[in-house]
Structure 1
Amino acid sequence: MTEMTPEMQGLKTRLKAVWMAGDYGVFAKYLEPGALEFLARLAVAPGTRMLDVACGAGQIAIPAARAGARVTGVDIATNLVEQARARAAADGVEVRFDEGDAEMLPYADGSFDLVVSLIGAMFAPRPERVAAELLRVCRPGGRIVMANWTPSGFVGLMFKTIGRHVPPPALMPSPLLWGDQATVRDRLGGGVAQLQTSKRLYPFAYPFPPAEVVEHYRTYYGPINRAFEALDASGQAALRRDLEQLWTEHNRATDGTTRYDAEYLEVDAIRGQSA
């Protein structure tokens, strides 16, 4: 067990509660098209030992296993691990799902051929630990792939909007730094033999208008659910107004629905012989 200060332990406890709030399994249903696009680009070969870090309700772990990969998913949120297990069982797909921390992965060195995190590990509060763990559990010559929201993309703007109403934790560097190419190169450092990054767009589509999108996020998406809970009635009204404005300004749909693209940084690295 990695030692940490009481303050950091308290922060990690609060972050776990954030990700267990709402219902990410419901929230992620609208994100599946983009998740499957990401998974398709991985071209995971049958038999590949794959670890999905911050796996949520199994959005890419289960399809990867269905295609023949030997998949393990790990997430800090107990309820999401339970959802993922139930979903895999219902689909008749064999996947191992564990409750665990991206900063202290419960696996031996070099256990996986492919270590993936789709918009997940970026939210752990100690990024240097995350980088070290992704490298540690990947075998030499194996592959590490991440998708991380960029600071200037739509989701980056969304988190900045929230931060004006509910300041982020002082102990935690911005998760959006994982979407900065120079920062990623610095964090993975000499642990990788090759590193490529590319900016891509993640499609979001909702069959309802921006005002209902805000309510959807408030109900099902942990960070926004908790942000609203931290505010009084006037603060909630102000946050709702700003989020509705943000979604409305970026909405590409003209038929009463909501569509937008969110920029993310795709990181594709080959682990070196030593990390």
Structure 2
Amino acid sequence: MTQATDLDLKAKHRAMWALGDYPSVADEVIPALGTRLVEAVDVRAGDHVLDIAAGSGNSAIPAALAGATVVASDLTPELLEAGRRAAEARGALLSWEPADAEALPYADGEFDVATSCVGIMFAPHHQAAADELVRVVRPGGRIGLANWTPEGFIGQLFAVMKPYAPPPPPGAQPPPLWGSEDHVRALLGTGVTDVVARRELLDVGRFPGEPDFREYFKTRYGPTIAVYRSLADQPGRAAELDAALDDLAKRHDLGSGRMAWEYLLVTATRTA
């Protein structure tokens, strides 16, 4: 991939995540996920923490409230601005810095802890992002990741949308692969020890029925919005996708408007 092509891909990613209202998804649908990650990686007062692909601060804000010195980095400035406002409202002090997960502007071993809550998984080149994740953590420091699994609800959302979406650029890897334990272990390689990976379920009770989920994601979740925009002149295909999303939600309905979204929680220690 040429540098120009890569820059174009990153620009498209920034634009996609600025679509809709991802901060509301983080606040209304998955707020517990960031707190769970912060607890799992044992963020403590005095830790210097980097949250990669932080979005609007789903895990960065809880880390700051735990007493850590936190840098929240993300490719999309609009998400950082939303996070800054949310942090101020909650009395959390942290830094918000634009950064590409595949080329982080930080020194080797600069942080005690690096985290990412369903964020780094969307960097298109997985090994480059994983190498940067490991590089910026000091020897003996901690890494924590929460990523949607391929088999879980969000992994299946991407599988459902794939036939309707434009083909990905050459070299780009599917985000839900980061929810596969074998894939993550291979990415982190010998740079880490004490890897613990476990599948957990996030209880989601935001959507009373299938159309509620579909319309919410069509208006607020950047990847879904982007797919529907690509179908703007294909109303028949858009209607097919509507039905496919409704079927997905129905298959995951636990009753009373509740679903369980599976994610992979990974903690590891940087090799000394």
Bin the TM-score by the shorter chain. over 0.9
Aligned-partner Cα distance in 1 for 2:268–2:159: 29
- Kept in 1: contact 2:40–2:267 (CA 8 A): no
Q: Give, in whole Å, the separation in 2 of the partners of 1:53 and 1:203.
A: 24
In the alignment, what sits opposite 1:27?
A: 25
How far has the Cα of 1:244 moved from its partner? 0.9
Partner of 1:244: 246
Q: Aligned equivalents of 1:210 and 1:39: distance in 2? A: 31
Partner of 2:255: 253
CA distance in 2, matches of 1:174, 1:138: 25
**Which one of the candidate residues 16, 28, 42 is aligned to 1:18?**
16
For the 8 Å contact 2:70–2:94, the answer to whether it is kept is yes
> Residue 181 of structure 1 aligns with which residue?
181
Identity %: 37
- Tell me if the contact between 1:109 and 1:137 (Cα under 8 Å) persists in the aligned partners: yes
Paired position in structure 1 for 2:156: 157
List aligned pairs for 1:122-201, cutoff 5 A.
122-171=121-170, 172-201=172-201
How far is 1:71 from its partner? 0.9
After TM superposition, give the deviation of residue 40 of structure 1 in Å: 2.6
Classify 1:156/1:207 alpha carbon distance in 2 versus 1 (closer, same or farther; 3 Å).
closer
Shift, 1:168, TM fit: 4.2
SS at match of 1:46: coil
SS in 1 for 2:40: helix
1:209 aligns with 2:240: no
Aligned residues: 268
Quickly say closer, same or farther: Cα 1:36–1:193, change in 2 above 3 A.
Answer: closer
Runs of 5+ unmatched residues, structure 1: none
- The SS at the match of 1:164 is helix
Runs of 4+ in 1 over 4 A off after TM superposition: none
Q: Give the C-alpha shift of residue 205 in structure 1.
A: 1.6
Structure 1 residue aligned with 2:229: 229
Name the aligned partner's letter for residue 210 of structure 2: P
Are the aligned partners of 2:77 and 2:98 in contact in 1 as well (CA < 8 Å)?
yes
Structure 2 residue 63 is matched with structure 1 residue 64 = yes
TM-score (normalizing by structure 2): 0.93
Which letter does structure 1 place at the counterpart of 2:154? V
- Worse overlay, 258-267 or 105-114: 258-267
CA positional deviation for 1:92: 2.7
Structure 2 CA distance for aligned equivalents of residues 37 and 190 of structure 1: 26
Contact 1:210 1:247 in 2 (8 A): yes
**Contact 1:57/1:81 (<8 A) preserved:** yes
Contact kept in structure 2, 1:112 and 1:142, CA below 8 Å? yes
Equivalent-residue separation in structure 1 for 2:117 and 2:18 (angstroms): 18
The one-character-per-residue Cα deviations of 1:219-267 (angstroms, maximum 9, x if unpaired) are 111000111111032222111111011101211123xxx3211221111
Q: Secondary structure at the match of 1:206?
A: coil
Q: Give the stretch that moved more between structures: 173-182 or 110-119.
A: 173-182
CA RMSD across the alignment: 1.6
